[in-house]
Structure 1
Amino acid sequence: MKNIIQKALFHTALTAGAMACCAQASALDYQGYFRALAGSNSSHGGASCFQLAGALAKYRLGNECEVYGEFWLGQEVAKADDGAVFNANIMLSYYSANASSKSEADLPQIYVQGDKIPELNNGSVWLGRKYYKREGLGANDFIYWSGRGFGGGIQDVMVGDNLKFSYALLRKDNLVATTSGLLPATGALADNGSNSATRHDFQLRGIPTNPGGSLELGLSFIVKDAKGNDKQSADTLHSGYGATIQHRQTGINGDGENKFALQYGTGPGTGGADQAIGAIGNLSDDKNISRLRVVEGLYTQFTPRLGAELVAIYQKDKGFTPEHTVLGVAENKVWTSLGGHLVYGISRRFKIGMDLGVDAIRPDEGPTRRMTKFTIAPTISSGMGLNARPDLRLFYTYAKWNDAARHAADSAAPGSALSSTGAFGAAKSGSMIGVQADVCF
């Protein structure tokens, strides 16, 4: 990974002379985010975080053991007299499972974008690798609708007075052998043996429904590799699709909003190990494999002192045959999740964060596995609001799970907090106390 980044930066330096014509560009823009946690668990070990096997997300507060950062740089490289603006963008990311473990760096975004293009009715055009139209839930960092990969497209092209149309062509192949952005390959593309695939993503947003409310529609077609590779022949690979209908309500107590989404995908359009339906999942999944999901997410600052994020998820996966079943990853099951994150400001610089989440996995065969996680976090912050940053937290996290959750973790995630080979052994509960920094800039 280090060599990849060095080569990318070296190539950028080589082409600097070719950009001399952009001397009129504005100053460099930048944004950043990072978090870092240190803690000790109730078994006198290091930080141990809690996630139920089969759940695609976990509740975040006091439950993110890794050190992670993203640093984005953007440069306006050209501005035309008709209003069109062109920007070059790059994001560097850093990940370490804990403060003392090996770290990984990456370029999750590197793209060029043109905005306010008259020929696109003031829409945008882009090429490269970017976070494309991501929708997520903050309390558990669940990115349920997303497009990412190498590709390009047109974005937010006005249709009439309210509607915005976007189209993206995204590639996942052995040059980009991962859904997550990390190397070696992880997630769906690791399962695919780096077989290539093409995603055609269509979105229409801004359909008015009620004051402050609108519908957003998405349809993603996954087209399989026609040739396959030396590990999988073409006749074992499949195409698929994913569809999303979302209602967005804005202006709740000011900047608050509510999102309600209904999603359905088949074959690789389920997303597989990826959170997002419509992302490229496992190409060996056929049309009988499906994923149905309902998502509800509310964010609001009720008062200057009290803010909240509320989450509800229902997901049903079905169609897996025994040879395709992988416990915790690909199995016929129903996942339900209900939780919330509350922040109450005691004073201008001191607030209390609280987090409660309940996850359950009900497989077609076998007992239901459950986990409940609770965190309380006294915090020194720049403000009382839920999204005020930076946050300097002292936290206590407690989790409780059942026998079925422990047995599943033994198979799906040995050594994890819930497994009998993890920090808490045969116990069905555990806790952690620690500190965490969380900052955006």
Structure 2
Amino acid sequence: MKYKMLTKAVGIALALSPAIALAGATVENVVYSGYGKWGTIFTDNDAHNNGKGERNDVIRADHGYGNFRLGNEMNWWEAAVKADVWKSGDAVFDTTLMLGSGDKWGDVSTIQFWSAGHNIFASQPNAKVWVGERFYRRHEVHMIDIKYWDTSSTGIGIEDWDLGFANAHFAWMAPNSSYTDETDATNDGGRTLHNIDVRLSDIVISDTADFTIGINYIFENNSDHGDKDVTTSGAMLSTLYRQAWQYGSNSFAFQYGTDGLAGGLMSAEGGTSRKYSTGLEHDGYSWRFFNSGDLNLSEDFQVMYSLAYQDKNLDNDYGDKWLSVAARPQYAWNEFMSTALEVGYENVEAQNGAGNNDLFKITLAQTFQAGKGTWARPSLRLFATWSDKGQEYERNGNKDYGEPVSVGSRNVEEFTFGFNMETWW
């Protein structure tokens, strides 16, 4: 049954463009795209997944953000089709539909559905107006599986307005607050937010470098929480500097957030549910940076790397300091076979002194992939991982926003192994 549902759903997406053609649309520009990762991770720890012998979650530091993804990913696929549905002269309107899944075979949902009008302003041929549910101008560190500037939700906006020195983008998004407090029976489970997103991108620094700057401001649609003194709004400044050079490329992002955006707009394992922290009885601020890139030391030897840090300081002392550092050297034996070694360390320190949670992880992977290089895909992998996870605190009451409390010292040393594929097109 689930297989039939999946087949039908993918069929609908792939059939979208001819269906549009029957409605009188132009089909000269139909683009199929997608991403997928799928496999199985086995573990020697019988405490995981009720002793079934395989993991149903990723290995990461408790209350940390993201994860070191080599040999440490849950299953996911997404497939999209974008087609021109109306054209008059140079003006074009297109529609994008993307379906995606969870970690169970057969899970299908609509994750993007939006339309855009291109070249409808005579003086701005590259600008477009859009409306719908979409992944909006996301920035990520692939290696640690973190989208650190992710406002994806339903919205309306204008993109790529040429100012001469930069491209301007304005969006009004309508996300949901993720805050829920399982211990508070009066909690409404989060409120609809407004997220105003203003960015300037493609600011040329040199022939090989550019700069992006943006501001996000969020506020609750209904901000009356009775007598509670809670956070109902927040702001965040983001900057991104990208540099290419002879031996690869590097990206450096810095963000500063306040109150409802003190947690940042991170979409990641452990981060997604802390994206919008309105409805909480605290204010505060945070700053973070992400530095990542790749080194091409030779045709056969490349290294991916990542360094990230966050200091979240809240007036109720429930914040934390987070550090993540990792490197993944990869050597190509020939055009289709490579060996990768990923080493990562993560540490989360509770603001109130309850303790530190950390993780040390090493993964060795043999890959069969479409060409040389760390970005070659599809990539078919056989891997083994050793990890050592320490825990000194957990959050009381609410797993994301509760008070950090000491639990002594716990340690889990684990060996995992398995296989997966990763592809995009």
TM bucket normalised to smaller: 0.7 to 0.9
Cα gap change, 1:235 to 1:309, in 2 (>3 Å): same
Q: CA deviation at 1:408?
A: 3.6
Q: Report the secondary structure of 2:277's partner residue.
A: coil
Cα gap change, 1:380 to 1:210, in 2 (>3 Å): same
8 Å Cα contact 2:231/2:283 also seen in 1: no
> Bigger shift: 113-122 or 241-250?
113-122
Q: 1:145 is matched by which residue type in structure 2?
A: W
TM-score (norm 2): 0.81
2:414 matches 1:430: yes
- Aligned counterpart, 1:316: 311
Distance in 1 of aligned mates of 2:302 and 2:129: 36
2:214 matches 1:218: yes
Q: Report the secondary structure of 1:397's partner residue.
A: strand
Cα gap change, 1:198 to 1:53, in 2 (>3 Å): same
8 Å Cα contact 2:231/2:259 also seen in 1: no
8 Å Cα contact 1:224/1:237 also seen in 2: no
8 Å Cα contact 1:220/1:243 also seen in 2: yes
8 Å Cα contact 2:267/2:275 also seen in 1: no
2:53 matches 1:51: no
Q: CA deviation at 1:274?
A: 4.2
8 Å Cα contact 1:309/1:341 also seen in 2: yes
Kindly provide the CA deviation profile for residues 181-211 of structure 1, in whole angstroms up to 9, marking residues without a partner as x: xxx999xxxx872311111100011223344
Q: CA deviation at 1:236?
A: 4.0
8 Å Cα contact 1:221/1:241 also seen in 2: yes
Q: CA deviation at 1:148?
A: 1.2
Cα gap change, 1:86 to 1:251, in 2 (>3 Å): farther
Q: 2:365 is matched by which residue type in structure 1?
A: A
TM-score (norm 1): 0.78
Q: CA deviation at 1:431?
A: 1.0
2:418 matches 1:439: no
- Aligned counterpart, 1:340: 327
Cα gap change, 1:410 to 1:269, in 2 (>3 Å): closer
- Aligned counterpart, 2:168: 165
- Aligned counterpart, 1:90: 97
Q: CA deviation at 1:398?
A: 0.8
8 Å Cα contact 2:37/2:76 also seen in 1: yes
Q: Report the secondary structure of 1:361's partner residue.
A: strand
Q: 1:370 is matched by which residue type in structure 2?
A: D
Q: CA deviation at 1:280?
A: 5.8
8 Å Cα contact 2:383/2:417 also seen in 1: yes
- Aligned counterpart, 1:67: 75
8 Å Cα contact 1:240/1:287 also seen in 2: no
- Aligned counterpart, 1:266: 258
Q: Report the secondary structure of 2:299's partner residue.
A: coil
Q: 2:383 is matched by which residue type in structure 1?
A: F
Cα gap change, 1:146 to 1:19, in 2 (>3 Å): farther
- Aligned counterpart, 1:134: 138
Q: Percent identity?
A: 21
- Aligned counterpart, 1:326: none
Q: CA deviation at 1:402?
A: 2.7
Distance in 1 of aligned mates of 2:307 and 2:195: 28
Cα gap change, 1:192 to 1:321, in 2 (>3 Å): farther
Q: 2:336 is matched by which residue type in structure 1?
A: R
Q: Report the secondary structure of 1:139's partner residue.
A: helix
Cα gap change, 1:380 to 1:410, in 2 (>3 Å): farther
- Aligned counterpart, 2:379: 391
Q: 2:77 is matched by which residue type in structure 1?
A: G
Q: CA deviation at 1:58?
A: 0.4
RMSD: 3.5
- 2:41 alignment partner, one of 36, 39, 58: 39
Q: CA deviation at 1:321?
A: 1.7
Q: CA deviation at 1:257?
A: 2.5
Cα gap change, 1:194 to 1:106, in 2 (>3 Å): farther
- Aligned counterpart, 1:417: none
Distance in 2 of aligned mates of 1:235 and 1:401: 37
Q: 1:58 is matched by which residue type in structure 2?
A: N
8 Å Cα contact 1:68/1:96 also seen in 2: yes
8 Å Cα contact 1:267/1:281 also seen in 2: no
Cα gap change, 1:35 to 1:192, in 2 (>3 Å): farther
Structure 2 residue ranges without an equivalent (≥5) = 47-52, 400-409
Distance in 2 of aligned mates of 1:205 and 1:167: 11
- Aligned counterpart, 1:295: 290
Q: CA deviation at 1:387?
A: 1.2
- Aligned counterpart, 2:155: 151
8 Å Cα contact 1:338/1:358 also seen in 2: yes
8 Å Cα contact 1:37/1:436 also seen in 2: yes
Distance in 2 of aligned mates of 1:56 and 1:409: 15
Distance in 2 of aligned mates of 1:96 and 1:361: 27
Distance in 2 of aligned mates of 1:123 and 1:80: 16
4+ residue runs over 3 A deviation: 16-19, 116-120, 231-237, 271-280, 407-413
Q: CA deviation at 1:285?
A: 3.9
8 Å Cα contact 2:42/2:417 also seen in 1: yes
- Aligned counterpart, 1:416: none
Structure 1 residue ranges without an equivalent (≥5) = 323-330, 414-425
Q: 1:29 is matched by which residue type in structure 2?
A: V
Kindly provide the CA deviation profile for residues 317-372 of structure 1, in whole angstroms up to 9, marking residues without a partner as x: 111427xxxxxxxx321101110222211111110122111001122212322211
